[in-house]
A and B are shown apart, each in its own frame.
Chain A
């Protein structure tokens, strides 16, 4: 998983491996949630990797040697999850769907991190007119319902074509644009904070060039909150992809398996009491989002000294500085994770920046 991006200063080598460090740090319920989330993620990733072996049929397969699958067939031995209105095997599409989901997460998050972090570093370190413009523009985008923006973008990017890469790129691209402001805000705020730290000043005094300061001192310290946002964004990426699919911007069933598309097609089934076409793709989404959210929520709790459990954590608490994007400190950033992160930021939104 992308969680592996971290530069948290550790005491021993094993504390430096991001997730291991957190598992060791956590206690009680938090550890339970974190471990459960990690296990579920593992299942998800394994499903995606071994989809060709696990799935009984292809995602676009409607018939086998024994003839056609038939449409809307209830679960049976040949089709444990039944078949869809289009005559596909539900189980196979659920399993193949993990590949699409993981592809979209990777493309979307990598793109958003790359662009968001670069812009945030530049904006926070150098300031100037570009910084002001970016802040205002991203704040405006940030306050806007991301799904609507994703809809507009998927129209633009896909323009009606819906092969695998067209669809994946459309979904991932539209999600990326929605995520960039989040990375931008966090990295920029951290950069502004770090810029004022003594070690940056000493580097300046020593005559270090800006490039070295930005990459060596600022970047490595500003990215510490990233794993958290990455997990939260990944779960939102899945939800956005599914929502786009549900609204009819899905990837064609012959190109790839996508859970949102299957749910869209299952809508009329539900009214006539056919439950298997909606239940299983839906549960797949829930399972995946739940896995990522559990991990993200636990990481968020562990990063917030006030919410972190007790005991052993207290020793290493000093490491994690408050993320200054959240005005009023971590009081507003809840274990709500994404919600928590978004939420506290109303203060400095709309161009009214945090001036402190």
Chain B
């Protein structure tokens, strides 16, 4: 596709730069720069978390403080290496991280990275389902509100979005549980699947941990229904929060684009209102939504922690709360750093997609 390479060829190899842009740097260069930026981001987060967690104490004192005598405590700290200078511990920790070692949990003495492989799929599934809910609810409502701007429909949609934001996710979860699981008994109360379904899925060769996939692999429609019905309430709880954000974003952006000259021009050419909304205003308004997805991932992860705790959905957030409860702060720190890496990586992917769609993002 590339014909003449106009951009100064210094850092990026020519192959990674298929589309040179007149306005500063090509996609390839953006990709490279953006990729390299992951490392300082992770490094800073790791450093911040490490020093914040360590300046006033260490995991063992925090966990055992008050329960053990000073001698026993000092012994434990020395055994774990927490009595050495902070900078030595920090460098050692960095070296450890560089090899992909996120530390070990104190209570179960397992590598933290194992937590990811065991509980990661559940969180991924939850986030995926809730994104579906968020898109299905938020985008159409946002369009609807923008089109009926300042009318009753708009008012209702906006108040709805504010209420969704104002309801803490765990409270929404508890209410959903109370109404649909306890009173109406339509849906299961908690968990990712019923015990029998879980047992059957474990008999599969190499279970993936993604219950939806595993359930389909068993070939038993009852198990599929069981797994999906368990996902409904958590996905709604987490999805509606995000839907509120989507609604507001779509609304603002569509109002913005509806006011532009080219929409006026199209309208004066006699383009139908519905087409105006669908083609002219909606598409450009979607771009900001995609570009903000990166930050939504961070929000979704925080929301997932709370949703999982509410619904005993055994994902990363659930296990994080368990470790918090048992005061296993080494594990908590490990998981938080792990999540930082995940956030940095997802942000990278989202930014690259955004840049691919919207050339203005590339610098």
Contact = CB atoms under 8 A, between A and B. Distances in A.
Q: Chain A's interface: helix, strand, loop or mixed, by majority? A: helix
A284 to B, nearest CB: 10
Considering the complex of A and B, which 5 residue pairs feature the smallest CB-CB distances, nearest first?
A334-B252, A336-B248, A282-B171, A343-B292, A147-B302
Nearest to B40: A136
Given A278-B171, A352-B37, A343 B288 contact: yes
A153 interface: yes
B252 A335 contact: yes
A314 to B, nearest CB: 14
B29 interface: no
A307 B62 contact: no
A331 B256 contact: yes
What size tier do the contact residues of chain B reach? 35 or more
Given A143-B344, A148-B336, A351-B41, 6 more contacts: A146-B298, A151-B320, A151-B336, A263-B174, A286-B171, A331-B252
Contacts of B295: 143, 342-343, 345-346
Nearest to B310: A267
Interface string B298-334: 1101100110011000000000110011010100110
Interface in B158-212: 158-159, 161-163, 165-168, 170-171, 174-175, 177-178, 182-183, 189-190
11 contacts: A140-B41, A144-B298, A145-B343, A160-B327, A242-B170, A247-B309, A266-B174, A278-B175, A340-B252, A342-B292, A346-B291
Q: Chain B: interface secondary structure?
A: helix
A347 B347 CA distance: 11
B253 interface: yes
B251 A335 contact: yes
Contacts of A123: none
Interface stretch (B51-59, B94-102, B126-134): B51-59
B57 A159 contact: yes
A137 interface: yes
B178 A331 contact: no
Contacts of A206: none
Contact of A290 (B163, B171, B301): B163
Interface of A: 28-29, 33, 136-137, 139-141, 143-149, 151-153, 155-157, 159-160, 177, 235, 239, 242-243, 246-249, 260, 263, 266-267, 270-273, 275, 278-279, 282, 285-286, 289-290, 293-294, 297, 306-307, 309, 328, 331-337, 339-340, 342-347, 349-352, 355
